[in-house]
Each structure stands twice: as structure tokens, then as C-alpha cells.
């Protein structure tokens, strides 16, 4: 590699690092503000979703998928990781079988080491952040075999979205993308569904 090419590569690497660091510090600020922001619109969101349940638009799932995709095109989870830091997914039997196998552990040992039952008798992590979370770069040690709940989080693009509006409101306190998605949804359907349509 010539000196000039090497210099260009170093400058490129430094620029990329600068952008990544800037995005991380913007995200840190956002995560600090998020609980207060989410609390501030919680009542409004509850009312909005209660109304939306009464008159659910037929294309709601398609709209949600579109908003979800647009949001995650600009939100990089690797600058965030807040779900892995603060909440636990539910581990199904399939999840525990798959992950134990991957870790070459007996299922019973895996459960004893990492999981406990919550008040609803679901298997959840004993600790937060998640034991499989790498805080250095917000990655997951078991990404390829992670629980289904992790791969589907924050569930804003799932079918029959209207059934999980309470969960979505809770997720606005943890997930900045979910907060933005709900705000975008309110803009997309700014109607008051209870209002009679004037003809
Ligand atoms: S298993 Fe992986 S994706 Fe799921 S919470 Fe833990 S670190 Fe995050
Ligand atoms: S899903 Fe939400 S909380 Fe989790 S890392 Fe991505 S933006 Fe952050």
C-alpha cells in the first residue's frame, strides 16, 4: 500500500469513527431524556390507542410495517442496546433448548444459571443487563440463536398490532425507536376515531 493510500485509509477510518461516536453520544442523550418524554405522552397515547381500538383502520398493520421500516432505516440498534440493558425477553422452551445446545450446556444448567420465573410464571433473565449482552459494542453473544422475543422486539411490525398497544406504550419508555414509531403513527392517523364523520 502506498503512503497516500494508507493516509487516505486512516483518514476514512477516523471519519467513520467520528460519525459512530457522534451517533452514540446523540443516542445516549436521547436515552437519558426518553423516560420523561414517554411519561409526558403516556396519557395521550393510552387515549389514542383506546380510540384506535374502537375504530381500527383496515390497513393498520401495513402502515405500522411501513413506519417501522422507516424508523429502523435511521435508528441503529448498535448505538443503543437499551432493551438488552434494561429489560428481559421471555424465554420459551424452544429458546432455552436452542440456546443451551449452542452453549453446549444442559438445559437444566442453563436455566439454573441464567433464568428465573417472573410473577406470571414466564422464564426471564435473572440479571439486567442481559448476561449475553456485550456492553463494549452493544452486541449479543448469542445473536444467531437469541430468543424469539429478542428477534421480534419491539414488535411494532407484527401482525394484529392492535392487540399489543399496552405493551407498545410500555416500550416507549425503553425503546427510542418505539417512541418515534408511535409519534409517527399518531401523525399518520391524526383522527379522533370516536368523532362522527360529517357528510
Ligand atoms: S439475548 Fe441478546 S438480544 Fe436478547 S436481551 Fe440478551 S443480549 Fe439482547
Ligand atoms: S430495539 Fe429499541 S431499545 Fe432495542 S436497541 Fe433497538 S432502538 Fe434500542
pLDDT tens per residue across all 199 residues of the chain:
666 666 666 656 666 665 656 667 899 999 999 999 999 999 999 999 999 999 999 999 999 999 999 999 999 999 999 999 999 999 999 999 999 999 999 999 999 999 999 999 999 999 999 999 999 999 999 999 999 999 999 999 999 999 999 999 999 999 999 999 999 999 999 966 445 534 3
Determine the Cα–Cα distance for residues 171 and 38; give it in Å rounded to an integer.
9
Determine the Cα–Cα distance for residues 168 and 108; give it in Å rounded to an integer.
32
Ligand sitting nearest the alpha carbon of 129: 1
For 37, 70, 136, the CA distances from 139, given in Å and listed in that order, are 26, 22, 8
Ligand sitting nearest the alpha carbon of 180: 2
Q: Does residue 140's CB lie within 6 angstroms of at least one atom of ligand 1?
A: yes
Which DSSP letter does residue 77 get? G
Q: How far is the CA of 2 from the centre of ligand 2 (A)?
A: 41
Ligand sitting nearest the alpha carbon of 38: 2
- For residue 115, the cross-strand partners are 125
Determine the Cα–Cα distance for residues 1 and 136; give it in Å rounded to an integer.
31
pTM to 2 decimals?
0.86
Q: How far is the CA of 16 from the centre of ligand 1 (A)?
A: 26
Q: What is the pLDDT of residue 11?
A: 58
Q: What is the pLDDT of residue 24?
A: 72
Q: How far is the CA of 188 from the centre of ligand 2 (A)?
A: 22
Contacts for 147 with CB less than 8 Å, ≥ 6 apart: 89, 90, 91, 92, 95, 99
Q: How far is the CA of 129 from the centre of ligand 1 (A)?
A: 9
Give, using CA atoms, the residue closest to atom 4 of ligand 2: 83
Q: Does residue 179's CB lie within 6 angstroms of at least one atom of ligand 1?
A: no
Determine the Cα–Cα distance for residues 6 and 105; give it in Å rounded to an integer.
46
Cell of 44: 395521550
Q: What is the pLDDT of residue 166?
A: 97
Q: What is the pLDDT of residue 14?
A: 60
Determine the Cα–Cα distance for residues 146 and 85; give it in Å rounded to an integer.
15
Amino acid at each position: 500500500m502506498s503512503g497516500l493510500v494508507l493516509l487516505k485509509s486512516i483518514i476514512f477510518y477516523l471519519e467513520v469513527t467520528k460519525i459512530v461516536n457522534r451517533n452514540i453520544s446523540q443516542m445516549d442523550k436521547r436515552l437519558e431524556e426518553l423516560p420523561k418524554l414517554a411519561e409526558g405522552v403516556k396519557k395521550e397515547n393510552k387515549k389514542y390507542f383506546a380510540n384506535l381500538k374502537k375504530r381500527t383502520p383496515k390497513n393498520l398493520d401495513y402502515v405500522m410495517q411501513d413506519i417501522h421500516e422507516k424508523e429502523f432505516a435511521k435508528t441503529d440498534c448498535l448505538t443503543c442496546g437499551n432493551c438488552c440493558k434494561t429489560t428481559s425477553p421471555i424465554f420459551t422452551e424452544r429458546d432455552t433448548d436452542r440456546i443451551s445446545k449452542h452453549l453446549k450446556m444442559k438445559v437444566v444448567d442453563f436455566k439454573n444459571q441464567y433464568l428465573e420465573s417472573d410473577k406470571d410464571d414466564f422464564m426471564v433473565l435473572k440479571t439486567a443487563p442481559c448476561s449475553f449482552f456485550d456492553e463494549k459494542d452493544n452486541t449479543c453473544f448469542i445473536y444467531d440463536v437469541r430468543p424469539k422475543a429478542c428477534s421480534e422486539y419491539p414488535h411494532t411490525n407484527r401482525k394484529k398490532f392492535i392487540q399489543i398497544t399496552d405493551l407498545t406504550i410500555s416500550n416507549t419508555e425503553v425503546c427510542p425507536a418505539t417512541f418515534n414509531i408511535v409519534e409517527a403513527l399518531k401523525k399518520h392517523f391524526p383522527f379522533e376515531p370516536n368523532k362522527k364523520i360529517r357528510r
